[in-house]
Structure 1
Amino acid sequence: MERSIVHMDLDTFFVSCERLNNSELNGIPLIIGGGDRGVVASCSYEARKFGVRSAMPIKMALKLCPDAKVIRGDHELYSNLSHLVTEVIQSKVPVMEKASVDEFYLDLSGMDQFFGCYQWTKEIAAAVTKETGLPISFALSNNKTVSKIGSGESKPEGKLQIEPQNMQGFLNPLSIRKIPMVGNATFQLLSRIGIRTIHTLSDMPVLVLQQMIGKNGIELWKKANGIDENPVIPYSERKSISTERTFSNDTMDMVSLKGLISGMAEQLAYQLRKEKWLTSTVTIKIRYSNFDTETKQCKVSYTSADHTLSRVALELFQKAYTRRMRLRLVGLRFTGLVHGNHQMDLFEDTEELMNLYQSMDYIKNRFGAQAVGRASGFDLENKNRLL
């Protein structure tokens, strides 16, 4: 049976959310992001005409578009509207995957016998806009990669159906940057040997690509040829992420305890980023040697940055630990999770911090979660991680 896979993408999601709240922002160049040293989290199409792009330093963006209005952003507003869109889509489709705060995959395979899949998708998109006020684009094809590329090409408020017989003709003239797994490093590597369009990439011998970029070369060749068998994964919200440590010997060594908590925060924050979650609530738990248990909780702006989460966790520990008594357990939990990508972290990140996290995550992904970390999370005497 031929699959019918839809990718839906909310247009300039953060910008659209802000404009729902304030109609005076309509039609003007708008940038969502941090302060002077921050980066662009999102920008309106009016700003993009001047060359402004996501992840660009704010200072550079304002040089390109001096008249742009900069808004710091409202995590709670974006989260609430994302949940509302999720509910609208989930109520109308058999299988939905929430890929990020503003992206969704739908599997409508077999539904053509009841409705036309394209017509049905148009009705879902119309329902989203009617019930939330947010513009949305979509593309329908037989796999996730082509549909994602298609929705990007159809923006804003685009509607696109890519039939299997037209798939390669659609992909061929596009830049290889349009393939989701092609980052800047891969683009530069392939560009140096003259591979800049998907057509050229699709004609490359797959073994040559594998030799150039490793096992990802096969996957890249498949995507360039419109081949993607990845399923749509049914969506379910994760409620929390946590870790705790029970000591073999009760302790009140404050240096080690604080190092442990810092390491816990770093470990959990890395897991958040890896799984594309953001947290809004931090909870610390301690258990004294007499088994009395204390917890302290704090709300934070949505984040997955360990420097922020570590600081909050340590502050909560200071408030929770009020007795001169040994501890037998320390735990840390993040709740109030929303599914989102790094884009939402950009509100607090400077360009330097973004580069630091990207580098650390790259090393951890390649060599393991314990390969690199902050010194506070290490037992320097034994040269081991405290976790």
Structure 2
Amino acid sequence: MIIHLDLDAFFASCERLRNPSLLGKRIVVGGRGDPFIFDRKPSSAKKLVTLNSGAFVPSLFHAPHDASHYFNDGDKIRGIVTTASYEARAFGVKTGMSIHEALRRCPNLILIPPDHLLYHTLSHELMEYLSTVIPVMEQYSIDEMFGDLSGWIEEEETESFIKHLQEQIMIQFKLPVSIGASSSKWIAKLATSTAKPYGTRVVHQHEIEAFVNNIPIEEFPGVGKAFSQKMGQYGIRTIGNAWKSETLINSWGRGGRDLYGRLTGNDHEPIQPSRSRKGIGMSRSMDHPVKERNELFRRISVMVRHWSHTIMKLGVNPTTYSFSLGYENWGSSKKQFTVYRLFNESFLQHFAHEKFKELDLYPHIPIRYIAMSATKFLHHDHKTLDILEYETDTKMRSLTDAVTKMREKYGMDIVRGGGEL
């Protein structure tokens, strides 16, 4: 059997662990996409962690801020809900909602700025513990894990095992968790969603069809908006409907065949103890769109510095770079480039500035969004590096290595480029 663990309202649970007076209260942990990254004043509070990943979880973040200032932008309330306690959810507050709307629905909400270092640390410690009691574990996201009990726990003992595991996690970590189990990863994950909060659910192979029959298709893990809409056009509104549409779904190519296997519990997807990272991205939305291009490119320099540091920390060498600018009420401009260079920060700064200038098709319209990502690492796509630039890149790579170590020791802002001043 495969089990899926989902920490209940994880960020809120972490805050309650630190501050027990929050127990039973309507609380929200919210985020603003790090509005402080572009501060001109150097900060020693920036941290970078690459232990975990997941929705709303940046690898770079500041230390906690006073909530009274964190969510305020003049006379406006900024930010979105990243986690709501179940007490707050009873009032319709949910993940992705604006803080302004959350306060409208639940005026007595307690707003808490995120402490991602705490969340990363607790998630990592829990994963370390789970690896001692379950032979094969997969970290799916910062608050979700899969485990393979095959050859370790007899199927008929699964329910008692996961209930005991749930109790032990509460005793040792004071973190509530829901656990689902089945012969398939994705049916196990679906079982967890029906067990929340703080519940367990085992779905045996012969029970899968009855279990999924009336569940809306959009609630199945991995069924995105496009697939859900496509299925709706054919009258497929529940997972049970999908089971009866094998020929149709399989006709949609490999994606359709893989999806049908997951829907029926016949995907046979194994637990992945380590997952190969395919890309590294960074993006920022502006509370106040930026019109001055000098300020825009100063912010691009800041972002490239942090982006470069993350790439160096993960020890990869990208070959494909994507850049995007979003205009205020005017769409966006984006493009992808491939270049075979030995990675270093100096190269990336010059390259990014050059390409963003090419992308800026409407220089008089304010920018509301900046995004950049790196993919196709050399260990995935072996090619010969540019020999004409190799000597220079090797020297700059050594410099980047040294700067990375300094930032690790003294903080991200210890070395900044001239373009940021």
TM tier, smaller = 0.5 to 0.7
Note if 1:296 corresponds to 2:370: no
Equivalent AA in structure 1 for residue 248 of structure 2: V
Note if 1:46 corresponds to 2:140: no
Q: Is the 8 A contact 1:179 1:223 kept in 2?
A: no
What residue in structure 1 maps to residue 317 of structure 2?
A: 243
Residue of structure 2 aligned with 1:63, choices 104, 128, 146: 104
TM-score, reference length from structure 1: 0.64
SS of the residue aligned with 2:133? coil
Q: Is the 8 A contact 1:6 1:106 kept in 2?
A: yes
**How far did 1:30 drift?**
1.4
Q: Is the 8 A contact 1:33 1:41 kept in 2?
A: yes
Note if 1:227 corresponds to 2:266: yes
CA distance in structure 2 between the partners assigned to 1:290 and 1:19 by the alignment: 46
Note if 1:28 corresponds to 2:25: yes
Q: Specify whether residues 315 and 195 from structure 1 end up closer, same or farther in structure 2 by C-alpha distance, changes over 3 A only.
A: farther
**How far did 1:57 drift?**
2.2
Q: Specify whether residues 198 and 113 from structure 1 end up closer, same or farther in structure 2 by C-alpha distance, changes over 3 A only.
A: closer
Note if 1:207 corresponds to 2:261: no
Note if 1:256 corresponds to 2:296: no
Moved more, 14-23 or 159-168: 159-168
CA distance in structure 2 between the partners assigned to 1:185 and 1:156 by the alignment: 29
CA distance in structure 2 between the partners assigned to 1:114 and 1:208 by the alignment: 34
SS of the residue aligned with 1:116? helix
**How far did 1:123 drift?**
2.5
SS of the residue aligned with 1:33? strand
TM-score, reference length from structure 2: 0.59
SS of the residue aligned with 1:316? coil
CA distance in structure 2 between the partners assigned to 1:253 and 1:73 by the alignment: 33
CA distance in structure 2 between the partners assigned to 1:54 and 1:87 by the alignment: 27
CA distance in structure 2 between the partners assigned to 1:183 and 1:116 by the alignment: 34
CA-to-aligned-CA distance 1:177-222 (integer Å, 9 cap, x gap): 2211112333233334432211112112x332345x5532222222
What residue in structure 2 maps to residue 105 of structure 1?
A: 146
CA distance in structure 1 between the partners assigned to 2:149 and 2:347 by the alignment: 57
Q: Is the 8 A contact 1:172 1:199 kept in 2?
A: yes
Q: How many residues align?
A: 286
What residue in structure 1 maps to residue 416 of structure 2?
A: 316
**How far did 1:236 drift?**
7.6
Note if 1:7 corresponds to 2:4: yes
Note if 1:19 corresponds to 2:16: yes
Moved more, 46-55 or 134-143: 46-55
Q: Specify whether residues 124 and 288 from structure 1 end up closer, same or farther in structure 2 by C-alpha distance, changes over 3 A only.
A: closer
CA-to-aligned-CA distance 1:3-52 (integer Å, 9 cap, x gap): x1111111111010011111221112211112333221111111212222
CA-to-aligned-CA distance 1:333-357 (integer Å, 9 cap, x gap): xxxxxxxxxxxxxxxxxxxxxxxxx
Identity %: 30
CA-to-aligned-CA distance 1:308-344 (integer Å, 9 cap, x gap): xxxx799634499xxxxxxxxxxxxxxxxxxxxxxxx
Alignment of 1:110-149 (within 5 A): 110-112=151-153, 116-149=157-190
CA distance in structure 2 between the partners assigned to 1:290 and 1:71 by the alignment: 41
Q: Is the 8 A contact 1:261 1:313 kept in 2?
A: no
What residue in structure 2 maps to residue 266 of structure 1?
A: 372
- Root mean square deviation, CA, Å: 3.8
CA-to-aligned-CA distance 1:255-295 (integer Å, 9 cap, x gap): 836637989x9334898xxxxxxxxxxxxxx9797998463
Equivalent AA in structure 1 for residue 353 of structure 2: G
SS of the residue aligned with 2:6? strand
Note if 1:218 corresponds to 2:263: no
Q: Is the 8 A contact 1:30 1:68 kept in 2?
A: yes
**How far did 1:109 drift?**
0.8
**How far did 1:299 drift?**
6.2
Alignment of 1:337-356 (within 5 A): none
Residue of structure 2 aligned with 1:169, choices 206, 210, 217: 210
Q: Specify whether residues 126 and 319 from structure 1 end up closer, same or farther in structure 2 by C-alpha distance, changes over 3 A only.
A: farther
What residue in structure 2 maps to residue 80 of structure 1?
A: 121
Q: Is the 8 A contact 2:26 2:86 kept in 1?
A: yes
Q: Specify whether residues 171 and 207 from structure 1 end up closer, same or farther in structure 2 by C-alpha distance, changes over 3 A only.
A: same
Q: Specify whether residues 163 and 261 from structure 1 end up closer, same or farther in structure 2 by C-alpha distance, changes over 3 A only.
A: same
**How far did 1:253 drift?**
10
Q: Specify whether residues 193 and 314 from structure 1 end up closer, same or farther in structure 2 by C-alpha distance, changes over 3 A only.
A: farther
Equivalent AA in structure 2 for residue 179 of structure 1: F
CA distance in structure 2 between the partners assigned to 1:140 and 1:288 by the alignment: 50
